[in-house]
Amino acid sequence: MGSIVQGFPQLSEAVVEVTDFEGDYEGKLWRVREEVMGINRTDEHRWMATARAYVVVSDRSVSKIGYEKFHGCSNLVKVTAPFVEVVGEYAFWGSHNLHHVRLSSGVVAIPRTFQFCLSLEVPAVSVGFELDIGVKGWIGKRDPTVSITRFSK
């Protein structure tokens, strides 16, 4: 058992590298999410993070992360997908532990892509995103993650 940090066992780190998207995942991103969420998962821990997962999508055939593909993925900490050009609505919604996202420089991200990803540190640096804190979330409170949008700098 790992060491105890603030009442929780230390989370192991894992890298999920997608190099053969069609062969390994049958061309389905939900299978990548399933692998990430399954790391160290038990029924007892089904709603909490059980690992710190880094997803690296190096397969050039993956150009889109669609609607809700990594929705609520509590194990997801970092995503690197340099060939992704479109990210769908709610793609990472509620992935509370997501800290860093690196996508292609011309990526188009729909508003609400990163809603409730409250740990994000580097979207602005990696792909030219801008945070607009004037938009209200679905419960009527200001949520800067609602409108992370791309602007030319």
Q: Does domain 4-123 bear CATH number 3.80.10?
A: yes
Residues in the chain, pLDDT under 70: 1-9, 44-47, 122-153
The pTM (predicted TM-score) of the whole model is 0.72
pLDDT, position 122: 55
State the average pLDDT for the chain.
75
Query: Minimal CA–CA distance to 92: which of 63, 127, 55?
Result: 55
pLDDT, position 141: 57
| Separation of alpha carbons 56 and 17, rounded Å | 5
| Separation of alpha carbons 108 and 115, rounded Å | 15
Helix (H, G, I), strand (E, B) or coil at 5: strand
pLDDT, position 28: 92
Instruction: Give the start-to-end residue ranges of the domains of the chain.
Output: 4-123
The amino acid that residue 36 corresponds to is: V
Query: What one-character-per-residue DSSP string does 60-92 give?
Result: TT--EE-TTTTTT-TTEEEEEETT--EE-TTTT
